[in-house]
Amino acid sequence: MLFVYLAFATLLLGMVLSVNRPLSFGLASSSSLLMFIGGISCLFHPASSPQYYLMPGLSIGIGVDHTTAIFLVATSIAFFAISFYSKDFGRLFSRKMAAFHNLTLFGMLLVMTAQDSINFLIGWELMTIALYFQILERKGSYESAFSFLAFGELSAISLLLAFASLFVTNGSFTLTGNVAANPFFLVMATLGFIVKMDAVPFHTWITGAYSKAPSNTAAMLSAPLTFMGFYGLVRILSFTGYPKWWGIIVLVFGAISAFWGGMQAAAERSLKKLPAYSTVENNGIILAALGLSAIAATYGTPETQTLSQFALLASMIVAFAHLISKSLLFESVGHAKESLQEEEIDNVRGIWRNVGSVPALGLLTSGLSFSAFPPTIGFVGEWMVLEAMFQSYKLTSNVDRLLAAFAGIMVALAIGLAGFAMVKLIGYTALGPDHGRETRKMKSASIKLSQIFLILLIVLSGVFAPLIVRFLGYNQFLTGVLGVPTPLLIASSNPIFGVISPTMFFIVVGVILIPLVVIFLTRRTHRKVEAWNGGMSLTEDEYFTVPAYSFVLEYVLRKVYRTKELRNGYNAEVVNKDIAEYIYEYADKGVRTISRFVGRNLMSGKISWYVLYIVIVFILAFILA
């Protein structure tokens, strides 16, 4: 626990010294390293602080068990990358950002180490409020920040009700040991966590907050923050078990969320909104895998127990892949965006030549990971999820089989749509033609080093994915066959159903690609092919735009996308709208109507109404007390 205590102390020092932004972000980076060391040490020797009793039945304390240690190690990697990136990137913003960045990490560390619901809720609120103030760093971001805060408080209220029910059942707020839980707790806690995971329909805040927030804050919103939601689900399931009804709901809910996020990402044109919808898609896949794990766990056969464990492992691999890949994506997007001062993908072309090879390679690597391109870690995780869905035949209930098959179809479509979106993103930005604009000069040493670190990590963690599986404690899924040595082959079941060896894939394909790369680099001539434009030649000021890339998809699904054509003289533009936004628009209209009624009739200044209100509240309070 010593390293965990030091991590807390370092973050507090980082808040105090926020007047020196590079130093403050450097302390956050150092704290992340301390978290990593603390997590590794507690993997083998779980530890906890003494319990401090505030009153009978109410004690608080922190600790790191095996599950927490795994999440602490994974999260600390993203913390370090984003904090180190912010050493130079943070110079573009106020000193307050450094303080709130440290406070965000402090809250998340408290969430992961909390052994009681009091500390958990304090950490949950600290990270929400700190991120709210970071979103406000940009002018005109108040509405987006408030929308994020509103959904954050919905999450907090849900968790507050869940922990209150837990206290009623157990007579204490402890989250360790033999904890008895009721269905109400599981429902409310799940709601609180999936709101943080941007699941549909609780995702509408992302389009404003992600685009308005500084890119290092957007990375925190998309990667570590949603990872906290996943951690919360795994934590509560550790003492509630895996109810089948919960698994069915989460499986269907996650599959729909994944498809919806992938579909919206495929049509998005904004540089930061596209990755935002990609977050919805990835977290939907994680939820679907968790749901399948819960369903399979309710069967008593060895085959279904193996399937349950493999689905849980798949959700953890996808979550880790999303954690590091999305951190890199927003870092690279932020580097390009701040250099070119543009928001739309069409206007950020030619990053490789304009901004530099590092952000372009970062976009390429993270995009390929989200496109499930081997041998990245994203490929390994999404293969494992689909492999688990394919094994739904092991479930004896036809209803469960149909639901798992439906989820598998939706997840497969989501992965395809996400690949479509990522090809658009990296094709136009990282690999697109140079538009000749001048870039903004800024210090970028830590920005580039952080991206290089994550680029290597995404590739190497994919290549050596079997070692991650071993680190997580799932050795039963590691084997060797047909010349592939143990433990470099990941098997989805026993007896073997499907296998993959990203390590051997990297070796074999690498040997084949080396001569091709040498030939490509030594060639002096390259053939260029003009873009197809319906048989008409393109003029010098014309190019194939981002809206044109996805227009066919938008037109085919125009009823779902709510596609409309806006005309302004001879100019026309096609726009889409997320249907989920209508829900909150109608809710907003309803609240405003009720507010006007209350303001004009009940809160009109008449003393009789106020006296009646006080009497009613007194009677209700007396009855409840």
pLDDT in tens, 348-375: 888 888 888 899 999 999 999 999 998 8
- Using the predicted structure, report yes or no on whether residue 282 has a pLDDT greater than 80: yes
Judge whether 314 lies within some domain: yes
Judge whether 534 lies within some domain: no
Q: Give the residue from 204, 223, 240 where a domain finishes.
A: 240
- Using the predicted structure, report yes or no on whether residue 590 has a pLDDT greater than 90: no
- Using the predicted structure, report yes or no on whether residue 577 has a pLDDT greater than 70: yes
**Count of structural domains, the chain:** 5
Q: First-to-last CA distance in the chain?
A: 41
Is there a single domain that holds both residue 500 and residue 452? no
For residues 112-136, average pLDDT: 92
- Using the predicted structure, report yes or no on whether residue 526 has a pLDDT greater than 90: no
Higher pLDDT, 515 or 305: 305
CB 48, CB 132: distance < 8 Å: no
Is there a single domain that holds both residue 468 and residue 511? no
Q: Give the residue from 194, 214, 240 where a domain finishes.
A: 240
CB 84, CB 27: distance < 8 Å: no
Judge whether 582 lies within some domain: no
Nearest-angstrom CA–CA distance, 52 and 250: 36
Is there a single domain that holds both residue 218 and residue 329? no
- Using the predicted structure, report yes or no on whether residue 208 has a pLDDT greater than 80: yes
Q: How confident is the model at residue 499 (pLDDT cuts 50, 70, 90)?
A: confident
Q: How confident is the model at residue 532 (pLDDT cuts 50, 70, 90)?
A: low
Is there a single domain that holds both residue 200 and residue 62? yes
The boundaries of the domain holding residue 256 are 242-473
Query: Which CA distances in Å does 564 have to 421, 561, 574?
Result: 20, 9, 6
Q: How confident is the model at residue 604 (pLDDT cuts 50, 70, 90)?
A: low
Is there a single domain that holds both residue 462 and residue 443? yes
Handedness of CA 553, 559, 560, 563 (dihedral sign): positive
Nearest-angstrom CA–CA distance, 311 and 390: 11
For residues 308-315, average pLDDT: 94
Say what the pTM is: 0.90
- Considering 161-165, 175-179, 457-461, the range whose residues carry the highest mean pLDDT is 457-461
- Considering 268-272, 368-372, 518-522, the range whose residues carry the highest mean pLDDT is 368-372
User: Mind listing the pLDDT tens digit for each residue in 433-460?
Assistant: 776 677 777 888 899 999 999 999 999 9
Judge whether 420 lies within some domain: yes
Could you say which DSSP state residue 478 is in?
Answer: E
For residues 394-400, average pLDDT: 90
For residues 453-476, average pLDDT: 93
Higher pLDDT, 494 or 252: 252
Whole-number pLDDT of residue 279: 93
* Bridge-based pairing state of the strands 58-60 and 52-55: antiparallel
- Where b means 16+ CB within 10 Å and e means fewer, 246-274 reads bbbbbbbbbbbbbbbbbbbbbbbbbbbbb
User: Mind listing the pLDDT tens digit for each residue in 78-99?
Assistant: 999 999 999 999 888 888 999 9
Q: Give the residue from 448, 473, 498 where a domain finishes.
A: 473
CA–centroid distance for 296 within its chain: 25
Judge whether 527 lies within some domain: no
The one-letter amino acid code at 569 reads G
Whole-number pLDDT of residue 534: 67
Nearest-angstrom CA–CA distance, 3 and 31: 9
Whole-number pLDDT of residue 359: 92
Is there a single domain that holds both residue 77 and residue 160? yes
Is there a single domain that holds both residue 139 and residue 177? yes
Is there a single domain that holds both residue 360 and residue 225? no
CB 256, CB 284: distance < 8 Å: yes
Judge whether 583 lies within some domain: no
Whole-number pLDDT of residue 311: 94
Is there a single domain that holds both residue 186 and residue 56? yes
For residues 170-195, average pLDDT: 83
Reading the block at residue 601, the tokens are 């009739």
Give the number of residues written for the chain: 625
Whole-number pLDDT of residue 383: 94
Nearest-angstrom CA–CA distance, 372 and 258: 14
For residues 572-587, average pLDDT: 81
CB 89, CB 334: distance < 8 Å: yes
For residues 280-295, average pLDDT: 94
- Using the predicted structure, report yes or no on whether residue 250 has a pLDDT greater than 90: yes
- Considering 45-59, 436-450, 453-467, 593-607, the range whose residues carry the highest mean pLDDT is 453-467
The values of phi and psi at residue 137, to 5°, are -60, -30
Query: Which CA distances in Å does 326 have to 56, 121, 155, 451, 564?
Result: 44, 26, 22, 11, 31
- Using the predicted structure, report yes or no on whether residue 598 has a pLDDT greater than 80: no
- Using the predicted structure, report yes or no on whether residue 124 has a pLDDT greater than 90: yes
Mean pLDDT score across all residues of the chain: 87
CA–centroid distance for 533 within its chain: 38
Whole-number pLDDT of residue 46: 86
371-380, 536-545, 550-559, 605-614: least confident range = 536-545
Whole-number pLDDT of residue 308: 92
Nearest-angstrom CA–CA distance, 40 and 69: 7
CB 392, CB 408: distance < 8 Å: yes
HSE-up (13 A, CA, CB side) for residue 604 = 7
Is there a single domain that holds both residue 246 and residue 163? no
Is there a single domain that holds both residue 46 and residue 161? yes
Q: How confident is the model at residue 576 (pLDDT cuts 50, 70, 90)?
A: confident
Say what percent of the chain tops pLDDT 90. Answer: 45
Is there a single domain that holds both residue 405 and residue 453? yes
111-120, 295-304, 580-589: least confident range = 580-589
Nearest-angstrom CA–CA distance, 602 and 177: 50
Judge whether 581 lies within some domain: no
Judge whether 277 lies within some domain: yes
